[in-house]
Each structure stands twice: as structure tokens, then as C-alpha cells.
Structure 1
Amino acid sequence: MAKITFDENNAVFALDIGTRTVIGLVVEPKGGQMKILAQAMVEHQSRAMLDGQIHDIPRVTEAVLKVKSALEKKLKAPLKKVAIAAAGRSLKTCRCRVDQELVEDLEIEAIMIHALELLGVQRAQELLAEEALPGDEEKFYCVGHSVVGYYLNDYPIANLEGHRGKKISAEVLATFLPASVVNSLYAVLARVGLEPLCLTLEPIAASEVVIPEQLRLLNLALVDVGAGTTDIAISRDGTITAYGMVPTAGDEITELIVENLMVDFMTAEQIKRSLGQGGNIQYQDVLGIKATVNCAEIIKMIEPAVENLAAEIAGHVLELNGQTPPKSVMCVGGGSQLPSLVEKIAHKLGLLPQRVVIRNRSHINCLSDTRSKDLTGPEGVTVAGIAALAAKKRGQNFITVTVNGRPFTLFNTGHLTVLQALSRLNFNPRELLGRHGKDLQFTLNGKPKTVYGQLAKPAAITVNGRPAHLKTLLQDGDVILVEKAINGRDATAKVGDFLEGAAAGHQQLCLLNGKPADPEQLIASGDVLEIAVLQANEHNREFSMPEVNREVLPAAESFAAGRRPAAAPADQVSITVLVNGRTVVMTGKKEYILIDIFNYYDLDPGQAKGKVSIMRNGHAAEYTELLQDGDVIEISW
């Protein structure tokens, strides 16, 4: 026998803590293959685990310690780190859609998309909490998420980055495990002096070696029949598209044997495992009476239960696969060896019998040196899958990081980012992305004018005191600080912001929505601001409005005409008005409006102080009012 050379830096220890057994496997990955260095199996001496979950930590610890000690004896070296898997029964998935309103015409950046995904994960976690029964305070940890689709203004889109719109959305599929499941696994490992190297799910591990990536273009189903649960995975289009679980498995058959033969659970397990050998089975019942039973009798006795298990498995496979049967079903796990189970699954799915098969270690291409006769059957597949996943993710272990002063432990997938770390906390993703201030849009002298709001200050992220971002990769011991984003201020403007310095002999008049405006008056979105520059005539010092300034005003005369009945055609008329006590004769037009007086009245710009006030016949007047002969006008500041 070749001497075993163990190097903990180039070896993987995998542990399958199952409902009936604990299986340990140590392999040496090399060149895409895994060489088996040592393996051991111990059976629980009591029902310390039910339905794939640890119920009795001390008894499970005892079984794990036996496996660890047996492996260390073979390797002549201590084992410190281990890859483990959690049962699919505890798996919860949640699919939800989240929306984020944006400032229109704002380019979508990567940080917005990441914040949206984080919002989706947190929303999924909230939905799980809402589904919890009153008094149930079980916490769930997200072990992974994927984006099913993005939306821009409610239309599907492949990639949001670089686009512009009013709303972005994402449909997120998040996967969770309850804290109690993870904590119980860690508690067992801590008691035997092991550190977690890799955590995965049992159906994911089995899929790694039974349906490798090169087979996932086919529509296949993996069925892992254990003692407490039956895990299911579906592949198609190059990926695993769904995971599921049937809450019945081999233990239900064992319990039926217990009831009918009056034996204890361990004796019933031994009888069940002997059914494939045929012939007679001798046993002793709980009363101490020895008896003999033929395998055919037991098979007939358990057939209804096997039929029910096959029906549940087939029904769940169809549900996960869109109510259509897959091309083939691959069965693993000790329970898959139940007499006639695979035949019944094939019948219920409408598949040929040869399309539903049992896979054992001889079908695992990446596993070399399988000469050992131990654990070569379907019961040894899942632990090999755990080892294969750990080998693929070598060096990706658990790390401890600190976020805003709070330390916590995360499983390192090898690409653990700040975004993933924040998703484990109750961190509000809206605090990562501030809101830009609203723009102010109005009309200035007949042309659109925009005053832009203040840009938001995005969240400031540092890792170990250095600037970072949501995609920054993390390492063990990293210290993360996140300062909340600051919203930008909305744009504001006053009338006076658009008054330019008037030259000597010039005066500026302001109309805001057709009314005289003070320079300190605030402008609102949709307002119409008109500014006229009045200049003195070189000969008579009377102020006149240049044609260019009439053009920038909203055609005051036309505006006034629109507010009164159209005048009947007439010859030019003259009117006389009194302006600040001075008589002014206005000639050359059919009619006159108030603003026309500045073509005749000598206004002293040096007297202008503050807001202009114009009274007509004792009442406040607008520049577009129609003048009548004899009107009394008073102009003041």
C-alpha cells in the first residue's frame, strides 16, 4: 500500500453530517483531479439528527469526533479546517422586485445598481420576516443572491449602467439559511477543534459532481435521497435553475419497518439495508423474540410508502421544472437504493426506466484512486461534492471584518465585497446614494433657463482608512467605515441674480409673471421672468426702450391686447397723462400701455432704490395696462 503523504496546505477535509451517518473524506486536489487520502464513516447511535438538522449537539459532536480521530490516525496528522454542508430542508428562497426613483436625465452609475441589488436582498429578508409566525424570531442569513432581471422605467433591460431614466428596478432571487442551522453546525465544529473552511448546501454539493458544468446544458434532475430529506436540483441552459426539497426520505421507510416488525430503529435500519441482498433476514424484536422474515415480504410491506415517496419526488421535480419531465433523473444518497424506487420515479415522470439512474462514485470523473471498497456507492457522493467545491474555492475561508465598529464573521467566497458585507447588516441601501437637488426651470426673456440643483455627495467608504467602493474586495481583519450620502440642495434663484450692471443713464425693469418684481423675490419653476433695459435718448433725455429689448420682452403690446377686446381700426391718437406731476403728451399710436410712458418721461436712474412702485389713478398698476387720456401716474421706489 502506498504511503500517504498529507500536506494540510494542499489537502481538503470534507464532512457530511447526515441524519443517519457522519462521513469524512480527505482528498488531495491536483490537476483537476482529487486523490482520496483517507475516509471514514460513523453511524449515529441515536436519533441525534432529524430531517437533516442537528437536535442533539453533544451526540452529534461525539460522532464527528470519532470520524475526525479515525482520519487523523490514518493521516498521522491533525486536521484543523473542514468543509461542510447544510441540509436543503432549511433552505429558503425569496423572489422580489424593488424600485428606485431617480432624478430624470441622470446617468445611471454602478453604485446605483449595487445599491438597488442590496435593497432587493434586504427586501427579501423583510418578506421572510413578514412570513414568520407570531413570536418566531428566527434570523436568516443570505448565502447568495442573483438578479433575475433589471428594468428601466418598467421596461426590461439587460444592463442599467450608462442609461438615463426616472426609475430603475431589479428582480432579485435571494437564498437564506436560518441562523440556528448555521450556529448548530459551528457549535459542533468548535467542540471538536475544527474551523469552517467552506459552507455550502447539500444539493449544491451533490450537483457539483453529479451534474458538472459540461452537462448543465441538458435539462437534468438530481435527486439526493437521504435519511431525513430528499434534495432536488434542476439544470438547464448551462446552469442550475432551481433547488427544492421533499420532507420525506429513508427514515419513513425505516419507521414503517419498526412498526410492523416491533424492532428498534437501528435494527430496522439494518433490515432495510439488507433488502437488496434477497433471501431471509433474521432479527430480534424489542421483546427479545428472535424471528425470520423474507425480503420479499418486507418489500411488499413497504411498497405503499415507497410509492408515496416516488410520487412526492416526481411531483416536486415537475413543479421545479415547469410541469414538464426532465430528460433524465440522477439519484444519489443511501435512500436511492430502496427497492423499486427509481423505477417508480421513472413511471410517474413518464420516462423510460433507463432515464432514471443511480449514480455512485465510479461516475465522478474528478475523483481518482477509487479502489477502496468503502463508500463507493451513492451514499458517498455528497461528501465528494463538498470536497470538490472546497477544492475549487481553495483559500476562500471565513473571515472577520468590522463595519462601522461592529465585528462579524462572513463566509469568504473568494470575491467577498463591501456590498456583500453590508448586505449582512441592517444597512439601509438608500443611505449609499444621495438625492441630487431638483433643478429650477423657468423662462428668462422668452428663452428657457435652468438653474441646476446641487449634486449629491455619495457615501464615503473606506477600508482600513483608504478610499474604497462597493466592489472593493475584503480580506480577514479589514475595517470598513461607511459615511452616509448627503442629499444635494434644490436649486434656488432670485430675480436680482439675473440683473446685470446697468450703464450710466440706464434703468432695468423686471416683470415676474407679468407683475413688477423686487430683486430679492424668489423664482419658482415655471415662472416667466422679463427684464427690460431702459435707456435715455441723447437729445431729450427721455427714456426709450431699444427694439432689441422689446424683442426679449413677451411682446407687451400683444400680451395686453390678448387681455382686452380688440380695438376697432382707427387713426393715430394723442393722449395726455400726468406722470409724477408732469404733463406728458403721448402721440403716434392708436393706443398706449403703461410701459410706453418711459418713452416720454425723463426717469432719473440715480433715484432708483429698491423695488419700483407704479400707481395709476391711485391704484397699483401693471406695465401692460391700457392708458386713457387724463390718467394720473405715480412712479416711486
Structure 2
Amino acid sequence: MEKHEYSVGLDIGTTKIVTIVGRRNAHGKIEILGVGKAKSLGVHKGIVNNISQTIQSIKAAVAEAQSSSGVPIHKVTVGIAGKHIRSLQHSDYIMRDNPDQYITEDDIERLKDQVKKLVMLPGEEIIHVLPQEYKVDSEGEIQEPIGMHGKRLEANFHVVVGQMGSIRNIARCVREAGLEMEALTLEPLASSESVLTKEEKEAGVAIVDIGGGTTDIAIFKDNIIRHTCVIPYGGGIITDDIKEGCSIIEKHAEQLKVKFGSAVPELEKDSTFVTIPGLHGRPDKEISLKTLAQVVNARVEEILEMVNTELKAYGAFEQKKKLIAGIVLTGGGSNLRHLRQLANYTTGFDSRIGFANEYVANDKNQQLKGPEYATSIGLLMESLKIRDKKNGVEQPEEIVEKVEEVVQNQNVAAESPEFRTEEKVVSEAANRRRDKLTIGQKIMESVKKFFEEVE
């Protein structure tokens, strides 16, 4: 198996580190080749705080993934989260030298590169520059400007920023684990790739990824990313509360949360108890499930109130920005019983649990069904997109020039139906990186078809 046939996603989480190896099958779905998982020992609230332990955990997860997939792992797409992440809105523009030539991906990349030169606060670095809407000359609200003509290309951007130190620490851990970092992706964006549908993104939806150390949020409306943030609390703090509230060790607290935890105390009976083994000869301890649910509920409500604050900051309760598709809960924390009902009540939005196996073709044993794999599968999908883009043959300049020369020689008016048809074909072809034919071949096919019609 050749290197370019598969991609790898690496999720460096607070509770676990997951490596997933996969490739795209003939039907466009993802075929998982191997999965590796290791306990995360050096990460706190999404931020690396112990370099050597994190490196060892990454190595263990990668080794397991290599063993189960049978392929060597060299490049990985890595997720980033943490309370240091912030986002901002920014508008910028470029003036094109030749407005007679249509807008290409190079123009968009030049505009993005200009935004990446923004001066940030000391110690900060730009992670993502995400275009929202474009404006070509006086025409606004354009989602896809490629193929259009114009002198001035302008866009609104959603810019994601993080602390340089945290980014460098992740990069160092990946490098010293013997890997090359292909890309760094904000974790809620990766999760949204694996659990959200296009219809939900269009209608308006908030993905709430409750991980071990952080709760990551991304809001979409009209297929555009509108807001991202990271709340520095997750499932780990619920475990800590159970440990303190019930006076038990962390291992037992985590088991209680996973097996018996509930977000709504009213749904638990007063008479139901669970027995926890005593420590080293001490008597067993009985804990009421209603008491457990009350401890869990207090912390979950606090996290959901923070989610509500972010929804208000975006304007989700305004009619124009309303999230018709509501909320999608994912991440390991979304496995908590009755969480969906509490989220519906607290936020006022309808919610569902987002499972990450919708795009996976070969998950017969349901190993990846759990929402805790949403981020890692999303990172794999992002890695596959990067690979597809690199393998897709770029539009050759000489072929473009040839097409323009042919059109000029035939003196075809820009408003003629035939010309518009050809221009549409070229524009659409520029967006298809996964097609078997290259863009150059598509253009030549279009020109050939044009001359057959003229004859």
C-alpha cells in the first residue's frame, strides 16, 4: 500500500489520545484501516503540560494504530483546543492585476495570506483563516467567487487565534514522537466535519463537543462558520465533583459517572443505591443514584449555561440568526444519560446526539459509533481533504491561455449562451478535486465539445 492511499488523524485529548488511519473508498465513504488509543497523561484542559508524558502517549497510540492497520504512519493531522483559543471577525480585500481573467483559487489564497499577516496580541498566532462571504467589485453575498470576473476581491473572514506556546508544544510532541504534522485543526471544526449534515449547517446549528477537559463549540448558519470558542470545562470536572461529593477515589468516580450518571435527578429513584468497594479492608460505601445525579446535574447545568452565553454572544436568539437545526451534542461527555433533555430545557433549542460513524463504511463492530470518536474521525476527514487537494492536478496556466486564445480568435461574445456554458464548466471543474479527470482534461473536453457544436 502506497503512502498517498491513506491518511491519519491524531486527537490529543485530555483523557485519551486517539490515532485513526483510513482512506476513501470508491463510494466516497471512509474505510478505517486501524485505530490506536492510549491514556492521555500529559494534557490538562486541552493544553499540553507535560511534554515527555504526552510524547509517550502519542507513541503508544500510533504504535497500536500501525499494528492494527499494517501501514507505517508518518504524517498526521492534529487537533487543537484549550482555553487560549479565541476567534474574531475580519474583512480584507485585494486588487487584481487583470480583471479580464476570471478569479481563481490563487486569488483566494493570496487574500487569505494577506489576512494571515494580521498583527495579533503578543504571544498569539493565527490557526485558521476561514472565508465567510465574498464581495466582487460591487456584488456582495457571494459564497463561491471562482470563475467570476472583477478587479476588487473582498471577503469577511472568521479568524481563529491561539497561544503560540501551546501550538509550539503540540508541534514539538508530534515531532519528537517521530511524526510530521500535516495540519493543525481546531477540534470543534473537525468534529463538525464528522457529525453535521449540510442541511444542518445551512439551517443553523451549534455543535457542542463535550470532551474530557474542554467543551468546544462551533456555530454554522447558511453553510458558513459563524462562531467558535472553547470552554475550559468538560467531563473531567464532573468526575472531580463526584470524587469530592461522594468521598471516593477518581477511578470509582469515573466508573460511577459512566455507568450510573444522570443529568436529571428527578428521573432517578430515592431507593436506588450503588455499592462502591471500600479501600484496603474498609467497609463498602453505598451511594444513592439520586444524590449522584444531583452532583452531576449541578456541574452540567453550569457548562450548559456557558454554552448558552456563547449562543447569545453569536445572536442565536435573534430571528435572523436563529439556529433552526438546534444543537448537536457530541464528544465523550454527551454519553451522559438524559443530557439531551437537560440541554433542550436549558438552551431552549432542540438537540440530538452526534454520532461519528455516519461517514464510516466498515464500522461493522460499532467500535467507532460512540460520539467520543467525533473529533478523531473529523481529523481523519480533514487529512483526506488535504491529500485529495494535493493529489488533484492544478489547472495548468498554458491550458487556460490556450482556451482564452481560442475564444478570442473565434470572437465569441461573452454574453453568448455557448460561452456561458463553457465558462460554467470551467468554474465547476475548478471546484472538483476528487474527480478522476483532471481540470485540464475537463477544459480540453469542453473546448472540443464547443468546436463540435460550432461546426
Could you state the TM-score of these two structures normalised by the residue count of structure 2? 0.70
Q: Does 1:384 align with 2:369?
A: no
Give the alignment partner of residue 317 of structure 1, picking from 311, 329, 350: 311
Secondary structure of 2:72's match? Answer: coil
User: Alpha-carbon deviations, 1:129-151, whole Å to 9, x = none?
Assistant: 2xxxxxxx414135324365659
Q: Do 2:136 and 2:150's aligned partners in 1 also have CA atoms closer than 8 Å?
A: no
Show the counterpart of 1:79: 73
Distance 1:283 1:29, change over 3 A: farther
The offset of 1:112, in angstroms, is 11
User: Alpha-carbon deviations, 1:196-222, whole Å to 9, x = none?
Assistant: 233211111111121133542221221
Q: Do 2:116 and 2:126's aligned partners in 1 also have CA atoms closer than 8 Å?
A: no
Secondary structure of 1:243's match? Answer: strand
Show the counterpart of 1:297: 291
Give the alignment partner of residue 39 of structure 1, picking from 21, 35, 38: 35
Show the counterpart of 2:86: 92
Show the counterpart of 1:29: 24
User: Alpha-carbon deviations, 1:62-105, whole Å to 9, x = none?
Assistant: 1111111212222344322222111164433233456999xxxx
Alignment of 1:56-67 (within 5 A): 56-67=50-61
Q: Does 1:179 align with 2:176?
A: no
Show the counterpart of 1:280: 274
User: Alpha-carbon deviations, 1:147-199, whole Å to 9, x = none?
Assistant: 6565989x9797997569xxx98755433333223222221112221112332
The offset of 1:315, in angstroms, is 2.9
The offset of 1:376, in angstroms, is 2.2
Secondary structure of 1:326's match? Answer: coil
Could you state the TM-score of these two structures normalised by the residue count of structure 1? 0.51
Distance 1:76 1:237, change over 3 A: closer
Q: Does 1:270 align with 2:267?
A: no
Alignment of 1:451-466 (within 5 A): none
User: Alpha-carbon deviations, 1:232-279, whole Å to 9, x = none?
Assistant: 122221333322232322122112112123334344223221225986
Q: Do 2:8 and 2:19's aligned partners in 1 also have CA atoms closer than 8 Å?
A: yes
Higher mean C-alpha deviation, range 277-286 or range 263-272: 277-286
Show the counterpart of 1:252: 237
User: Alpha-carbon deviations, 1:267-315, whole Å to 9, x = none?
Assistant: 4223221225986142446997642323332112222112212222233
Show the counterpart of 2:11: 16
Show the counterpart of 1:454: none
* Matches of 2:134 and 2:242, distance apart in 1: 49
Distance 1:287 1:173, change over 3 A: farther
Give the alignment partner of residue 360 of structure 1, picking from 355, 359, 369: 355
Secondary structure of 1:371's match? Answer: coil
Figure out how many residues of one structure are paired with residues of the other and give that number. 371
Show the counterpart of 2:331: 333
Secondary structure of 1:367's match? Answer: coil
The offset of 1:374, in angstroms, is 3.0
Show the counterpart of 1:194: 179
* Matches of 1:204 and 1:186, distance apart in 2: 19
* Matches of 1:138 and 1:205, distance apart in 2: 25
Letter in 1 for 2:323: P
Structure with bigger RCO (C-alpha 8 Å, 6+ apart): 2
Question: Structure 1: which 5+ runs fail to align?
Answer: 1-5, 130-136, 398-411, 416-637
* Matches of 2:15 and 2:342, distance apart in 1: 24
Alignment of 1:563-574 (within 5 A): none
* Matches of 1:199 and 1:78, distance apart in 2: 20
Distance 1:261 1:117, change over 3 A: closer
Q: Do 1:243 and 1:320's aligned partners in 2 also have CA atoms closer than 8 Å?
A: no
The offset of 1:56, in angstroms, is 0.7
User: Alpha-carbon deviations, 1:335-369, whole Å to 9, x = none?
Assistant: 11223322121112224xxx3111224xx432111
Distance 1:216 1:59, change over 3 A: same
Q: Do 1:24 and 1:41's aligned partners in 2 also have CA atoms closer than 8 Å?
A: yes
Letter in 1 for 2:241: L
* Matches of 1:35 and 1:254, distance apart in 2: 34
Letter in 2 for 1:338: L
Runs of 4+ in 1 over 6 A off after TM superposition: 98-101, 106-117, 155-161, 286-289, 412-415
Distance 1:393 1:251, change over 3 A: same
Q: Do 1:120 and 1:170's aligned partners in 2 also have CA atoms closer than 8 Å?
A: no
* Matches of 1:182 and 1:280, distance apart in 2: 43
Give the alignment partner of residue 302 of structure 2, picking from 308, 312, 315: 308
Question: Structure 2: which 5+ runs fail to align?
Answer: 263-271, 395-455
Aligned-residue RMSD, C-alpha: 3.7
Calculate percent identity across the aligned residue pairs: 20
